[in-house]
Amino acid sequence: MNLTITLATTRRILSQLRHDHRTVALMLAVPTVLMVLLRFMFNSELVFNRVAPAVLGIFPFVIMFLLTSIATLRERTTGTLERLMTMPMGKLDLLFGYALAFGVMALAQVAIVATITLTWLGLDISGSVGLWLLVAVLDALLGMALGLFVSAFARTEFQAVQFMPAVVLPQLLLCGLFIARNQMNQVLEAVSNVLPMSYAIDAMTLVTRSTAVSGELIRDLVIIGGCGVLALILGAATLRRRTA
Partner 1 sequence: MTSPAAIMVDQLRVIRGGREVLHGVSFEIPRGSITGLIGPSGCGKTTLMRSIVGVQIVAGGTVTVLGHPAGSPQLRRRIGYSTQSPAVYDDLTVLENMRYFAAVLGAPAEDAQRVIDAVGLFGTERQTAGSLSGGQHSRASLAVALLGSPELLVLDEPTVGLDPVLRDELWGLFGQLTRDGVTLVISSHVMDEAARCERLLLMRDGYILADDTPANLRTHTKTDDLEQAFLHLVREKETVTP
Contact 109, 27 (CB under 8 A): yes
* Alpha-carbon Rg for the chain in angstroms: 18
Min CB(243)–partner 1 separation in Å: 6
19 or 119: whose CB is closer to partner 1? 19
Min CB(59)–partner 1 separation in Å: 24
Cα–Cα dist 11/18, whole Å: 10
4 or 182: whose CB is closer to partner 1? 4
82 or 189: whose CB is closer to partner 1? 82
Contact 60, 110 (CB under 8 A): yes
Q: Which amino acid is at 147?
A: G
Min CB(240)–partner 1 separation in Å: 9
First to last CA, the chain: 26
Contact 50, 189 (CB under 8 A): no
16 or 126: whose CB is closer to partner 1? 16
Cβ neighbour number for residue 194 with a 10 Å cutoff: 10
Min CB(242)–partner 1 separation in Å: 5
Cα–Cα dist 188/192, whole Å: 6
85 or 188: whose CB is closer to partner 1? 85
Min CB(27)–partner 1 separation in Å: 15
Contact 53, 205 (CB under 8 A): yes
152 or 213: whose CB is closer to partner 1? 152
Min CB(92)–partner 1 separation in Å: 14
| Beta strands per DSSP E along 141-203 | none
Min CB(157)–partner 1 separation in Å: 15
46 or 87: whose CB is closer to partner 1? 87
Report which DSSP code applies to 44: -
Cα distances from 229 to residues 37, 46, 72, 84, 144, in angstroms, run 34, 36, 17, 22, 11
Enumerate binding residues for partner 1 (CB under 8 A). 4-5, 8-9, 11-12, 15-16, 19-20, 78-80, 82-89, 241-244
